[in-house]
Chains A and B, each alone.
Chain A
Amino acid sequence: MAVSKPQLTLLSCEDKTFLHERVLEVLEEVGIAFNSPKALDVLAAAEVPVDRDRLSARIPRELVEKCLSMVPQQVLLAGRKSEHDIWLGKAPLPAFTSDGSATYVLDDASGRLREGTLADLRRFYRLLDALPEADVTWSTVSPRDLDPRTSLLEIVKAAFSESTKHTQDGVRQPELVPPLIDILEAVSGAPLAERPLFSAIDCTVAPLQHDPRMTDACLDLVAHKVPIVVMPMPLSGTTAPMSLSGTCIVHLAELLSAVVLFQLRSPGCPIVASTAAAVADMRTGGYLCAGPEKALLNLALTEMCKDYRLPTEADGVGSDAMTADFQAGAEGMATGLFAALAGADAIIAFGCLGGAEVTSLAKVMLDCETVRTIEKTLQEVSVQADSTVLDDIRDVGIGGHYLGCKSTRRLVRDGQSFQSRLFRRGLSGTSVPPSIVLEAAERAERLIAAHQAEPLDDDVTTYIDGIIRDFSLLDAD
């Protein structure tokens, strides 16, 4: 029986070929700065022409194609509990992750912003653990009360203390890789390559550069088969050409240069392609993570990454709105739905406001409703499967109703009728109910109060504390 699934495309085959050819030309003719002698060593060993003075390289097209073919098409993002394992590239529906690294937490009731703390982050991790819609966590807020030298280790400890789901984050200090691996293997009790509880976000620096310390850290992590989420963030108009195609070319050149580097370092290492290219505000230069241009970029880049057969983590339900309001909902749905309909394997979804600088509990809860709507939209439909449909129409005839039909009851139970937890559907009474935002925030508070992830063993917690303490003493020396 034929099954239909909604999908959306922007690019023709010719468009994709055009973009890919331009990307190859950029990598061969303009090159890319890796800014890391260690990265250049890896490239030079594969006879890539490198410029040691500029710490850059020009990458031959044959090598790009070869390295692309080496990337696994399915990537395991393991949870602390195996029931939370996520296989990107395998599942019929996308996984949904939290957004990350906001500077401020918004108090939804008062509208006040304040700097995020570790206590805030723990609450977000706990909430994300409680929400079935969230598959992967990312430090929703950057805790300002942590020492930046060891903050990543504290963040990872918090992630696994409050949640049993996979977590991802950026590793900006290569010296943190050994203690990080110790922590991850202590949590899972298995080699990292077998149970990759953590994936590392590698943010390239547009245009056409890599962050040297982040790159060095990733070079060490790929040796342990830690999945790398390559996240170029060129901005149309400032760090990328203003046009959609120009921004895509810069984005994809950075992405493919990372693919080459990491595959040369560790052939077959898991890589996930992100679509975080965005748009610059042409009045302030600020980062805009939503809007129609962003939705189209998300769509085009997801299509390109799928064409490359790369597991793809698309940008999604974020917003530039400062509160969880109408703008936030409209922007998040447009960007997220475009990525989902283009076939993204994962979508960054929960908690992003204010161009990724702000997060709030209500936004996380309302994003769940957006995610559920997207999942419902993606549901496969078998138009011809309902063999009794004409029988029902004959039975009810002209006038009458379908509430008495067995098929109505069965399909409602099967999820044919979308039941939202927070979104209101249709008129209910004539009085205006309280704000959906406050209701969302209250529900979040109740979940946080009631939920407790299965705790880490005491000896594991003690071991992790020892690693962090030893590292801070070492670093202080």
Chain B
Amino acid sequence: MAEVIYGKMAQTVIDGEAEEAAELARQGLARGLSPTAILDQGFVKGIEEVGDLFGRGEFFLPELVQGAEAMKAAVAVLQPELDKSKEGRKIAGKAVAGTVAGDIHEIGKTIVCAMLSAAGFEVTDMGCDVSVETFIEKVREVKPDLLLLSALLTTTMPNQQRTIQALKDAGLREGVKVMIGGAPTTRAWADEIGADGYAEDAIEAVAAAKRLLGAA
């Protein structure tokens, strides 16, 4: 019987049904299933399938983003129980992402976050117009493996550089890989400011993130 509900859980992610995913997570816990099993045998199978379908060109961005939203809704229900459990959740890595100060363009960064979530990363999306200080505080708090800095304007690109410098000044640079992106940014700019990774688009960003963390 458990196999049936795990299959349904996976399907809610494939269908991008966040409310149904949360409801099935609650039902699973009520039946006494372990939160780790619910996640690994149910919802993770779904998000893996979404990732595969996207990779094969059969799924498009809305399906990917809605799958990630469904996954997030299920994890929100399971998280309190996961925290109590010793098993914990297997993740590809922890990532913090945001658009730098002075810049309110965030669709590119949002898509990268969705793709990283679908690829098994635990992602903290800080939104847009994020100050250097706020990034530093969040890195200190979350201790991510990866920090992603987005900029869409030539005038805000220097804030990517300032954030990297501030990480160094705070003694946090060694503990986190930094990736940058955004339409006016280039690999040369990434090299110049000492970023570890750079990607032209969201698909490349996931591949680069995996490479940086040795997961690919």
Contacts and interface: CB of A to CB of B under 8 A. Distances in A.
B61 A282 contact: yes
A280 B61 contact: yes
B184 interface: yes
Contact of A282 (B62, B105, B154, B158): B62
Interface in A161-208: 172-173, 205
Interface string B96-120: 0000001011011001000000000
Interface string A141-158: 010100011010000000
Contacts of B60: 282-283
B101 to A, nearest CB: 11
B157 A148 contact: yes
B183 A357 contact: yes
B95 to A, nearest CB: 17
A101 B154 CA distance: 10
Interface string B46-70: 0000000000010011100000000
Contacts of A280: 61, 107
A100 to B, nearest CB: 12
B61 A238 contact: yes
B107 A142 contact: no
A282 B62 CA distance: 8
Given A35-B104, A238-B61, A282-B60, A103 B184 contact: yes
A280 B183 CA distance: 14
Please give me the 6 A-B residue pairs with the lowest Cβ-Cβ distance, nearest first: A285-B111, A282-B60, A284-B201, A172-B155, A238-B107, A148-B155
Interface residues of A, number: 29
Contacts of B158: 148
Contacts of B61: 237-238, 280, 282-285
B203 to A, nearest CB: 6
A220 interface: no
Contacts of A148: 154-155, 157-158
A205 B105 CA distance: 7
Given A148-B155, A173-B155, A205-B105, A285 B186 contact: no
Given A104-B186, A148-B155, 8 more contacts: A103-B184, A103-B186, A148-B158, A149-B155, A237-B61, A282-B62, A283-B57, A284-B203
A211 interface: yes
Given A148-B154, A172-B153, A283 B105 contact: no
A376 interface: no
26 contacts: A103-B183, A103-B184, A103-B186, A148-B154, A148-B155, A148-B158, A172-B155, A205-B104, A205-B105, A211-B104, A213-B155, A235-B107, A238-B61, A238-B111, A239-B107, A280-B61, A282-B60, A283-B57, A283-B61, A284-B111, A284-B201, A284-B202, A285-B61, A285-B108, A285-B201, A285-B202
B203 A283 contact: yes
Interface in A257-276: none
Contact of B62 (A103, A212, A237, A357): A237
Interface in B75-113: 102, 104-105, 107-108, 111
Contacts of A104: 186
Contacts of A144: 186, 188-189
A54 to B, nearest CB: 13
A466 interface: no
A209 interface: yes
The prevalent SS among residues of A at the interface is loop
Nearest to A147: B158
Contact of B188 (A35, A115, A212, A286): A115
A287 B184 CA distance: 13
Contacts of A209: 104
Interface string B176-209: 0000000110101100000000000111000000
Interface in B136-189: 153-155, 157-158, 183-184, 186, 188-189
Interface in A200-231: 205, 209, 211-213
A357 B186 CA distance: 11
B62 A142 contact: no
A172 B184 CA distance: 15
Nearest to B186: A115
A285 B158 CA distance: 24
Interface string B24-46: 00000000000000000000000
A388 B207 CA distance: 70
B188 A151 contact: no
Contacts of A282: 60-62
Interface string A129-151: 00000000000001010001101
B102 A213 contact: yes
B125 to A, nearest CB: 15
B76 to A, nearest CB: 24
A283 B62 CA distance: 9
Contacts of B62: 237, 282
A101 B152 CA distance: 12
Contacts of B184: 101, 103, 142
Contacts of B57: 283
Contacts of A238: 61, 107, 111
Contacts of B153: 172
B52 to A, nearest CB: 14
Contacts of B203: 283-284
